Amino acid sequence: MTAEILQMSVQEQSRSEVIRLYIEGHIKQKEAARRISLSCRQVRRLAKRYKQDGAKGLIHRSRGKESNRKLSAAFKAQVIGLVRKHYWDFGPTFAVEKLCERDGLNISSETLRHWMINEGLWKSRSKKKKANHPIRERRPCIGELIQIDGSPHDWFEGRSGKCTLIVFIDDATSKLMDIHFYPTEGTQAYMEGLRRYMSQYGRPAALYSDRHSTFVVNQVDAKSGEQITQFGRALKTLDIQHIPANSPQAKGRVERSNLTLQDRLVKEMRLAGVSSMEEGNAFLAKYMQKHNQKFAVKAISDKDAHRDVIHSEEELNLIFSKHYKRKVSSNLAVQYNNTTYQINIKNIGYAMRGSTITICEEFNGKVTLLYKGKSQKYTAFKRGEKVQQPVSDKTINHVVDQTIRNQNKRQHYKPSIDHPWRRNAIGSSTKKRTVLFWGKEDISTLR
């Protein structure tokens, strides 16, 4: 007769040995209960099963049976079908959120992960050994330190052109304070973003950024010697401290947020049918609320470090504009962008001659002349085409694309048949000759 082979866990084998010793009278009931960490009542139950079925009676009775909580094959097929159709490039956790939110299907992320791996829809990622970076504690109050960064990416997956997402995130809470799409990352994007931020929350204590040329003068102009950027000058006027980071890891909160946005926001906009920068900016408020509910944390302190905005709208218009210094000529005129600005002043204005005046150019093209903080009336005289300003590597693609679009819009002018440019070239094949004053033809022929 073939002996039956039992599959028992280590715990079941230990219990079997102790119960056998108890039944044979080698140990007392309390000692058996102590050895297997069970009550005396449970020891008597196990002893009864052992007497009836032997060691087999101590094996867990659910072994080899399907769980009552097992999901049906039809449910699994429905979930996998939806994942293949709508969430094929989603991670398991994000896909579970969308299945619950959009399709009303509840499933654990771990179960879906196993299903997606088996179906070839997800590959488990090997974790690389990360470099060690010193941990910095969060600031205790909201509004004390705001990390800012621009994230250029194909946000609309080819449905529209590439653009940059400007991100403002609070250090104390990891809360997205403001996000907005712009064609490029530059002074205008950050100035408009900060002004929109201030209109909602007030002035933060400090901004934490990388060393992009918008924030830091990386190469001092030998002629002007300027040590501050346009954005830096605006921050100084608003009494907001700027702190440049020495590495991307130093401002890791906004860097990790950019990676999350490049994953989740892109897919959310795809599901919502968002296909342009304008539609994207309208969608961001709804997304930001959902994002903060999931990822934001509570600040250590309940204090809000934001300060009131003390400048008027007219003053903010001048603060958030580009400032340039120019010398006033003896006839009270200044030159800027191939344009002469003649200052209109009632008195003679001797004091203003040879002095320095500030030209403030807003992003809508409006120009204001400031002398000792006061606006001056002027008359503008255009002097040719606008000089192209130097561009950085982050804006060169946008500039080239805009140039090509402008060139395609231009209609090439073709002179009429009787235009002076063409008059001598049409209807005459006789070459011009010069004639000397005594009436004889010169041997030279004009070509």
pLDDT, residue 133, reads 64
pLDDT, residue 444, reads 44
pLDDT, residue 232, reads 94
Tell me the per-residue pLDDT of 374-416, one tens digit each, with 9 for 90 and over.
Answer: 999 999 988 754 545 556 667 778 778 888 877 776 656 666 7
pLDDT, residue 51, reads 87
- Residue ranges for the chain with pLDDT beneath 50: 1, 222, 385, 387, 426, 428-430, 434-447
pLDDT, residue 435, reads 46
Tell me the per-residue pLDDT of 56-87, one tens digit each, with 9 for 90 and over.
Answer: 778 877 777 777 778 888 888 999 999 999 99
Looking up tokens 């041997």, which residue turns up?
A: 443
